[in-house]
Amino acid sequence: MKTKLVKDLMVLISGYATVSQEATLYEAITALEEAQKKFDPSRYRHRAILIYDEDHKIIGKVSHLDILRALEPKYKKIGDTVSLSRFGFSPHFLKTMQDQLRLWDKPMNDICKKASRLKVKTFMYTPSEGEFVDENASLDEAINQFIMGHHQSLLVTRNKAIIGILRLTDVFNEVCQAIKTCEIQTE
């Protein structure tokens, strides 16, 4: 079987939802919706929006979770919620924290105001060094990065410039398709 490369599965930036760092949450959601309409319907839908700076260079991304977290600013009081979730706190403890901090007490009441005022640069995620992969890297290398970093996507580079995104859903689909072509002996 031919070795698959990252560039064989990536989505080019031109086919992905992108907005300026100065865009509002409303503009980001609208861009995501528009990109979904133009995207190949046989593939999984996008789960993030790429953010670019004044030079049109990708500098970050905003996921569905980032958007929901941004709508409830009290999450900033908690700190790094990703690290907290890995400690295995009980559902009772998490509910108590939600009640005490009044998380999602009434954020839906002024959602329109928040969406029109929140700038994506205030809540976007800036990728770390381990979230970039070269377009000519093997799919095996990319899978290792996904697993080791617990990433949902990797930014694809060519000569250090970001040219696309490799999504975990596409990689998983490719692995499943490869498994289904196996001739497995059943007993």
Decide if pLDDT at 169 tops 70.
yes
Each residue's pLDDT tens digit, 7-32: 999 999 998 899 999 999 999 999 99
Average per-residue pLDDT in the chain?
85
HSE-up of 61 (CA within 13 Å, CB side)?
26
Question: What gap in Å lies between CA 158 and CA 166, rounded to an integer?
Answer: 13
Residue 68: band (very low, low, confident or very high) from pLDDT cuts 50, 70, 90: confident
Between 82 and 134, residue with greater pLDDT: 134
Backbone angles phi, psi at 151, to 5 degrees: -90, 155
Q: Which two tokens stand for residue 132?
A: 């970039």
User: In this predicted structure, what is the pLDDT of residue 45?
Assistant: 78
102: region left, alpha or beta (phi > 0 left; psi from -120 to 50 alpha)? left
HSE-up of 94 (CA within 13 Å, CB side)?
10
DSSP, collapsed to helix, strand or coil, labels residue 78 as coil
Sign, CA dihedral 47-124-35-137, equals negative
Question: What gap in Å lies between CA 50 and CA 187, rounded to an integer?
Answer: 48
Residue 54: band (very low, low, confident or very high) from pLDDT cuts 50, 70, 90: very high
HSE-up of 37 (CA within 13 Å, CB side)?
6
Q: Is 40 exposed, middle or buried (0-12, 13-18, 19+ CB in 10 A)?
A: exposed
Between 108 and 150, residue with greater pLDDT: 150
pTM of the model: 0.77
Domains of the chain listed by start with CATH number: 6-71+118-180 (3.10.580.10)
HEC profile of 2-24 = CCCEHHHHCEEHHHCCEEECCCE
Question: What gap in Å lies between CA 32 and CA 48, rounded to an integer?
Answer: 8
